[in-house]
Structure 1
Amino acid sequence: MSQIVSGSQIAEIAALVGDPARANMLVALMGGQALTAGELARHAGVSASTTSGHLAKLAAARLVSPSRQGRHRYYRLASPEIAEVVHALMVAAGVGPGRYRPVGPRDAALRLARTCYDHLAGRLALELADTLHRRGHVVQCDGGAVLTEAGRLFLTDFGLDLEAEASSRRPLCRTCLDWSERRPHLAGRLGAALLVRLLELGWVARLPESRALRVTGAGEAGLAARFDFREDWRCDPLATNTGRAA
């Protein structure tokens, strides 16, 4: 049951997220995988003891959820709703004042393909959304998205389980503003199912300690054949500009 939230409660959560170390931990968990305290310490650039204190505060506020497996304790974002909050803050930060910063390989990899909690983001996600829209499989309008019957048949034939979590309140298909591309990609149960299927097929692979995804050779061929990807979908508009961060 939802409850009325006060301004002081909002300020308390905002203060927790506002710490740079804790913010870096939350961003690292946007990869959708559970991480250890040691892994989060490296992402945050702080000591193990400092990390423990930060994680205790985040867990107490129910922003992260800890679980133990063997000798290790793992942390993940507490819910898809928390992931949406973190993503919204990333979008807000991305449209803030521009700062000159040379574009490095890590930035390019994240903009090409990455995880946005449990679904795809980056130019890979945008090309998928555009292709499904062109084919009439997904209709985007008014900031939302609807899966058509033709789209349901196509994606089911591709191997997606669109009935997973069907009993939950989570929508089947919705859009999520891509913070690096400034256009919406697909989220919801459909977006999550696409990520799972591409990983299963080996078309994309996770990069260690990063939210970036590598598109494999099999993925390049499969995406071109099955989704009719454009030849220039990888083109990075920031590669030839002045290096202003996206």
Structure 2
Amino acid sequence: MTSAIELTRGDPELAGLAALFADPSRARILLALLDGRSLPASVLAGEAGVSAPTASAHLAKLREGGLITVEQSGRHRYHRLANERVATAIEALSALAPAQPIRSLRQHTKAAALRDARSCYDHLAGRLGVAVTAWLVEREALQPIDGVCDTRRRPGEPFSSVLPEHPYRLGPDAERHLATLGVDLPDVVDAPSRRPLLKFCLDWTEQRHHLGGRLGAALLTGLLDRDWLRPTRRRRALELTELGERQLRQAGLEV
């Protein structure tokens, strides 16, 4: 028999969770993992600018709080974000947080690179991610189902968040145009996965929609495999190659 205690749920314990984000070193660790990679503690210690024992203590707290998971591989333990919801929360907090002052050309270049093209968990975000999504809508590879003919933020949508109900569906020209970007749509559709095929985020730097979900992940993989995009030494930032710029322009995508 179900007890009254089991039927009653209290408010979320928000303060304890927020405290995990509040420490600057832990925040840097979470940002380092936002591109979907699994990283060892030694690398994360360097990202956070702390000693190995201090990083281990922070990682233990993040793991206990359900924000990261750890996987053993040989002698090493690799840490990654627990799920896409954690990545979404970090992106949302990034939109609310004031930008750090730029005190050097190196900092400015890093900030600009993140705005231009970056990975958001495992899909493409930033100016390029928004532009690709808008191009797919213009080509009717994606069709709005809410009467709005572009990717701008809809009234009432929260800033920097995965949209709870995405306003698009696959259009009649989806397979052809996605193939131009290196995506085999039937393979993505047929792949066994519980993850939604289509998911959309409100990009925190552009405040327009970008594509996520399985299809967004396949899109980023396709661009990387074709060497149209490359990872950079800057955390999460991606670089559009000369080949990628030329091919995207030939496809009619302004970059």
1:167/1:9 CA distance change after superposition, 3 Å:
farther
Instruction: Point out the structure with max Rg over C-alpha.
Output: 2
Residue 68 of structure 1 and its aligned partner are, at CA, apart by: 2.1
- Supply the distance in 2 between the matched residues of 1:176 and 1:5 (Cα, whole angstroms): 29
Tell me the TM-score normalised to structure 1 length: 0.81
Q: Secondary structure at the match of 1:31?
A: coil
Query: CA deviation digits over 1:2-21, x for unaligned, max 9?
Result: x9764353322121122221
Residue 171 of structure 1 and its aligned partner are, at CA, apart by: 2.2
Contact preservation (8 Å) 1:176, 1:185: yes
Q: How many residues align?
A: 225
Counterpart of 1:220? 245
1:164/1:65 CA distance change after superposition, 3 Å:
farther
1:26 counterpart = 2:30: yes
Contact preservation (8 Å) 1:32, 1:116: yes
- Aligned mate of 1:68, from 64, 67, 72: 72
1:161/1:11 CA distance change after superposition, 3 Å:
farther
Query: CA deviation digits over 1:162-219, x for unaligned, max 9?
Result: 4548554432222211111122211111111110100111111111351001111111
Residue 110 of structure 1 and its aligned partner are, at CA, apart by: 1.0
Counterpart of 2:131? 127
1:49/1:122 CA distance change after superposition, 3 Å:
same
1:146 counterpart = 2:150: no
1:147/1:57 CA distance change after superposition, 3 Å:
same
Q: Secondary structure at the match of 1:181?
A: coil
Higher RCO (Cα < 8 Å, 6 or more apart): 1
RMSD of equivalent CA atoms? 2.4
- Aligned mate of 1:160, from 156, 171, 183: 183
Counterpart of 1:197? 222
For structure 2, list consecutive stretches of 5 or more residues without a partner in the other structure.
Answer: 1-6, 147-153, 155-162
Residue 139 of structure 1 and its aligned partner are, at CA, apart by: 2.4
Contact preservation (8 Å) 1:146, 1:174: no
1:207 counterpart = 2:232: yes
Contact preservation (8 Å) 2:188, 2:215: no
For structure 1, list consecutive stretches of 5 or more residues without a partner in the other structure.
Answer: 234-246
Counterpart of 1:242? none
**2:130 partner letter:** L
1:156/1:66 CA distance change after superposition, 3 Å:
same
**1:160 partner letter:** V
Counterpart of 1:52? 56
Query: CA deviation digits over 1:33-66, x for unaligned, max 9?
Result: 1112122112222221111001011112221111
- Supply the distance in 2 between the matched residues of 1:76 and 1:4 (Cα, whole angstroms): 33
Counterpart of 2:200? 175
1:107/1:157 CA distance change after superposition, 3 Å:
closer
1:52/1:112 CA distance change after superposition, 3 Å:
same
1:167/1:149 CA distance change after superposition, 3 Å:
farther
- Supply the distance in 1 between the matched residues of 2:225 and 2:12 (Cα, whole angstroms): 44
1:229 counterpart = 2:238: no
**1:173 partner letter:** L
- Supply the distance in 2 between the matched residues of 1:153 and 1:80 (Cα, whole angstroms): 28
Identity within the alignment, %: 42
Contact preservation (8 Å) 1:91, 1:177: no
